[in-house]
Amino acid sequence: MSAVAKSTSEILAWVADVFETPPEKIRPEMKRDEIDAWDSLGILTLIARMDEDFQVLLTEDEIQGLRSVGDIIEVLRRHGQAGGAP
């Protein structure tokens, strides 16, 4: 687990890096189908990066529940990796 929970803006930058998308284009309300790289391979990349960067091992239910950038932030918050600050 990371020593310090990331801010929302840091998580958004991380999401942008995972999906190889310009950071300015990533917003919490964005749905999965609005991000081109969030396809079947993108899901695998997201799961792997969650594990490597945050030591968060998502359950099958958590994986199925990821439908927006906000969902990613929320699941990281539940695992103590996102602090909720801007």
Partner 1 sequence: MARREALRKAMRFLFVDRILDMIPGKSIEAEHVFDGGEDFFRDHFPGFPVVPGVLLTEMMGQAAAMCLDAESRGTGRGKAMLAQIRSASFREWVKPGETTAIKAGIRSSRPELATAACSAEVGGRRVCSAELLFSFLPLGHFASGYRDEVLEAYLSSPGREKG
Given the complex with partner 1, which of 28 and 42 has the nearer CB atom? Answer: 42
The 17-56 contact track toward partner 1, x by CB under 8 A, reads ------------------------x--xx-xx--xx----
Question: DSSP per residue over 37-72, as a string?
Answer: T-SHHHHHHHHHHHHHHH-----HHHHHT--BHHHH
Given the complex with partner 1, which of 8 and 14 has the nearer CB atom? Answer: 14
Q: What is the distance in angstroms between the CA of the first residue and the CA of the last residue of the chain?
A: 20
Cβ(16)–Cβ(23) below 8 Å:
yes
By CB under 8 A, name the binding residues for partner 1: 41, 44-45, 47-48, 51-52, 57, 60, 63
